[in-house]
Structure 1
C-alpha cells in the first residue's frame, strides 16, 4: 500500500506511519504541504491529511486532485470549523476525523475510508450507467416516434426495425436511434 501523509508536523506524521506498522507491502511518503504534482507522481493508494485545522486551500487542492485521479482521502484534524467537514467530504474526503488521531486507530480508519471510497465509486458508476441508459432509452423512443410518423408504422414495428438495424450493423440500439434522428434532421434541413 502506498500512503501519502500530508502534515506540517513531522511528529504527527510519524504517528500516522506508526499506526500503519504491520501493513505489508507499505510505502509511506511524507509531505509538509499537499502538492498535486507530487501526489500524482507518487500515485498513492490513499492520502492522509493531518493538521491542526484544515484550510480551504488544502481542501480545494484535494478536490482538484481527486477529480483528476480519484483515490481515498482521510483527514485527521485537531479542530474543525462549522461546514468544513461537509466541504471536505464534497471535495472527495472519505473519512474526516476530528480530535481522534491515535496510532491504534489509523489502520481501522484507513480501512473504512478505503471501503467507503470503493462503495461510492461503484455508486457513481452505477448512476452514470443509469443516466446513459435513460438517455439511450429516450433516444430510442424519439426514433420510434419518427419512424411511426414518417413511415406509418405501429410502435412495435418501429422498434423491430430499429432492433434489426442495430443487429445488422452490430451497433447498440441507442447509437442506431441517434444516427436515425441525426439523419432525419439533416434531411429536414436542421443541423445535427
Structure 2
C-alpha cells in the first residue's frame, strides 16, 4: 500500500507513519503541502492529511484532484470550525477525524475510509450508468415515435425495427436511435 502523508509538522506525520507500521507491503511519503503533480507521480493508494485545522487551499486542491484522479483521502485535524467537515467531504475526504490522531487508530480509520471510498465510487458508477441508460431510453422512445409517425408503424414494430438495425450494425440501440433522429433532423432542415 502506498500512502501519501500531507502534514507541515514532521512530528505529527511520524505519528501517522507509526500507525501504519505493520502494513505489508507499505510505502509512505511525507510532503508538507498537497501538490497534485507530486501526488500523481507517487500514485498513492490513499492520502492522509494531518493538520492543526484544514485550510481552504488544501480543501480546494483536494477537490480538484478528486475530480481528475479520485483516491481515498483521510483527514486528521486538531480542531475544526463549523462547516469545514462538510467542505472536506465535498472535497472528496472519505474520513474526517477531529482531535483523534493516535497511532493505534490510524490503520482502522484508513481501512474504513478506503471501504467507504470504494462504496461511493461504485455508487457514482451506478448512478452514471443509470443516467446514461435513461438518456438512451429517451432517445429510443423519440426514435420509435418518429418511426410510428413517419412510417405508420405500431410501437412494437418500430422498436423491433430499431433493434434489428442495431443488431445489423453491431451498435447499441440508443446509438442507432440517435443516428436516426439526427438524420431525420437533417432531412427536415433542423440541423445546420
When normalised by structure 2's length, the TM-score is: 0.99
Most deviating of 34-43 and 137-146 = 34-43
Give distance in 2, aligned partners of 1:137 and 1:68. 29
Give distance in 2, aligned partners of 1:80 and 1:58. 14
Aligned to 1:136: 136
Give distance in 2, aligned partners of 1:162 and 1:37. 47
Aligned to 1:76: 76
Aligned to 2:172: 172
Give aligned pairs, total: 192
Give distance in 2, aligned partners of 1:9 and 1:185. 62
- Superposition misfits of 4+ residues, deviation over 6 angstroms: none
Aligned to 1:32: 32
Aligned to 2:108: 108
Give distance in 2, aligned partners of 1:138 and 1:56. 41
1:181-192 to structure 2, matched below 5 A, reads: 181-191=181-191
Give distance in 1, aligned partners of 2:67 and 2:132. 20
When normalised by structure 1's length, the TM-score is: 0.99
